[in-house]
Structure 1
Amino acid sequence: MDWVTPVISGSAGVIGASVGLFSNLISSYSQRKWNERERLQSVMESKFMVYNQVLDLNGREPILEPGKGRGWRADLYLRHVRPVLFKNYHLLGAKVRMQVRTIDTHLQRKRWGLLTEEDDPDSLEYMYYLKLIELIEQEYQSFT
């Protein structure tokens, strides 16, 4: 019976250490999950702040003027909307980023004189911009 006491004492120590290690692992995992959730929440809030600014500018500035001239004011888009989008470009949804790049590419091709005869630059840009606003509004719908 002399060997029973050290075995019980040793077993109790090993069990206690195992329980402590297991609870520490669970606590660490929970903390990592919590931190990741907070980070994602912060990113979402920042992304929707950008979208709010774009929609606000869209409502305040006459970027689109249907029935007036060509209906598209690229100068106002470049001066007001584009800087807001590119300041936080990394936060934008993938479809929104692609649409911004589509508008930029088309504006560059127009500036460089690379548009074909079939391209109607202003009406295309008008539609590209409408699609951008639509994609932003879809992000709100998918969020709620």
Structure 2
Amino acid sequence: MDTILNIFKSLGADITFFYQLALVIIFYFALKMSLFSKLQEVLDLRENKTTKLDGNANKKFAEAEQLSLKYKTELDKANQEAYSIVSQKRNESLTLQKKKVKEVEARLNSEVDEKRKEFMAELEVHKTNILKEADSLSSELVNKLTN
């Protein structure tokens, strides 16, 4: 303890040093209560608004990713539904067209058969006429040859 007092004496410190030390400690606690607590509140608020928002931003980003994925799946689902509807309508249209083609084909085939029958009937009539003429020509030829 003597060494400490000798050091203080060599530095020229006297009893006012302790008064000054007491004043510094009192001012420290007074400033701590009035300024430092407010400064700490401001620093905490700043940290909450800056670094802690990073966590909120990550949460919002993850939420946006989920919404994007949901949108994409619903869009794919809507595209598949649209494709199935288009395919269904196309198939219905094709079956309807095939049905119409078959009806027209059947009608044309029946018309062709009728025309063929008419043609064959005419051909038969012409054939019988030609054969009759051939018979009459052959009998005339025989008559001319025999005469």
Structure with larger Rg: 2
TM-score class, shorter: 0.3 to 0.5
Give the alignment's TM-score, normalised by structure 1: 0.42
Give the alignment's TM-score, normalised by structure 2: 0.41
More helix as a share of residues: 2
- Which structure is higher in RCO with an 8 Å CA cutoff and minimum separation 6? 1
